[in-house]
Amino acid sequence: MYTNSRFAVAVHTLVYLAMRQDRDAVTSAMFAKSVNTNSVVIRRILGNLHKARLVSSRAGSGGGWALTRPPNKITLCEIYRAVEQGVVFALPQRAANPHCPVGKHMQLILDSYFKEAEQALEGRLAKVTLADVVSDVRAHAQGVKGMARTEDVQRRRQGRAPRTR
Amino acid sequence: MYTNSRFAVAVHTLVYLAMRQDRDAVTSAMFAKSVNTNSVVIRRILGNLHKARLVSSRAGSGGGWALTRPPNKITLCEIYRAVEQGVVFALPQRAANPHCPVGKHMQLILDSYFKEAEQALEGRLAKVTLADVVSDVRAHAQGVKGMARTEDVQRRRQGRAPRTR
DNA sequence: TGAACTGTAACTATAATAGTTACAGTTAGG
DNA sequence: CCTAACTGTAACTATTATAGTTACAGTTCA
């Protein structure tokens, strides 16, 4: 049972990326503004996504992050695996009593049931692509204008004036 | 990753109970010996199982715990729900930026995907009964003799001398 | 009455997370 | 070739859940 929000943040950033794929690379500061956290937190999570080859990064001025694949080729399961260890259920830290036939075998047996349950979880996540989530966001966002942006992004988008909320 | 082992301990104790259903009530001290932890930890978890009506307890001398149903009528999903909050994935504690259309809707949307994944997890757990786990333990335990017992239990079982090991 | 239990409060130690500052290394562009 | 704008990561702090522990009131049996 997790109490961390890495998966949620990872999906958030990737959706953000997917929704502005055509434009410039997105910086960790921009993600941080949308997620409402510190940019280092974002870079740590994007580091995991980078290792999993879901995003590419470019250092230096004008750098930032980009998807390596179209959103319909990225599943929630891949994102999940990139940021979690794949252990929903934990076994006790102290091993059970090896002199007890229940305790002796319990952890091994539990582990196999845990793995099955986790496979069910991942199987469901594998059915959803980033593009699905983007569709949902677009559906929910009907009527909402403008995107949160840093000063940089506002400068880059010379064409349209920022919309007022 | 923030994990706990309550589910593992809960299943362990219930399997232990199921495997000696015919005999006296089991005390938290006996469970603690098998799980290799403190009896208060056990009583806390059994307290959850009690609220979920999976076990009954009796205070006082000769008291302890018993299953309220046969093992083939108890699923892992019920045990899971008794000891966990049903939240595998957490959302960030700070809400996302409400001025960003991605951030604004992300948590609501993620929550629905999270719930679907958790339902898949629970669905798998619902397919396994305590009796199934007991069968597995018996299969693994072939050739292993004797059960971990407290002094009390050894006294109660007057017939056979405790096996040395 | 006393021993053996449950149930629970209260405290401690440990560990993971998230937030933060700091900074070395990289890159684009004047 | 300098400088500003990035990434990547180390190091530290605050917060929080868990598990382990002691203690003790209440319950029950013999």
Name the residue with tokens 């005390």. B27
- How far apart, in whole angstroms, are the C-alpha atoms of residue A21 and residue A148? 15
Please state the pTM of the whole predicted model: 0.85
Amino acid at B104: K
Q: Is the CB of A144 under 7 A from strand D?
A: no
Side chain identity at B1, as an amino acid letter?
M
Our measurement of CA B41 to C1' D21, in angstroms, reads: 10
Task: State whether residue A40 sits within 8 Å of chain B by CB.
Answer: no
| Nucleic strand C within 7 A of Cβ A63 | yes
SS3 (DSSP) at B156: helix
Over range B71-87, report the average pLDDT: 94
pLDDT for position B20:
87
Contact assignment for A11 to B103 by CB distance below 8 Å: no
The residue among A82 and B85 whose pLDDT is bigger is: A82
For testing the chain B interface, which of A17, A81, A109 should be mutated: the one with the most B CBs within 10 Å? A109
A79-93, B5-19, B27-41, B49-63: which has the minimum mean pLDDT? A79-93
Q: Are A14 and A42 a contacting pair, CB within 8 Å?
A: no
pLDDT of amino acid A143: 52
Nearest Cβ partner of B105 from A33, A87, A140?
Answer: A140
Q: Is B64 helix (H, G, I), strand (E, B) or coil?
A: strand
Of B16, B91, B93, the CB nearest to A102: B16
* Burial call A25-43: b when 16+ CB within 10 Å, e when fewer: bbbbbbbbbbbbbebebbb
pLDDT score recorded for residue A1: 57
Burial status of residue A89 (CB atoms within 10 A of its CB: 0-12, 13-18, 19 or more): buried
Q: How far is A58 from chain B (nearest CA, A)?
A: 23
Could you give the residue ranges of the DSSP H alpha helices within chain B?
Answer: 6-18, 28-35, 39-51, 76-83, 101-126, 130-140, 151-156
Mean pLDDT, rounded, of chain B:
85
Q: Could you say which residues from 88 to 147 on chain A have a Cβ atom under 8 Å away from some Cβ of chain B?
A: 88-97, 99-110, 113-114, 116-121, 123-125, 128, 133, 136-137, 140-141, 144, 146-147
Residue A108 is predicted with a pLDDT of 92
Provide the residue-wise pLDDT of chain A in tens; the chain has 165 residues: 557 999 999 999 999 999 987 678 999 999 999 999 999 999 999 999 999 999 999 999 999 999 999 999 999 999 999 999 877 899 999 999 999 989 889 989 999 999 999 999 999 999 999 999 999 999 988 754 444 333 223 323 222 222 222
| Rounded CA separation A50/A82 (Å) | 9
Is A148 an 8 Å CB contact of chain B? yes
Contacts of B45 (CB under 8 A, 6+ apart): B6, B9, B10, B13, B83
- Give residue-wise pLDDT tens across range B41-58: 999 999 999 999 999 999
Query: What percent of chain B stands above pLDDT 70?
Result: 84
Chain C: nucleotides below 7 Å from protein CB are 2-10, 16-22, 25-29
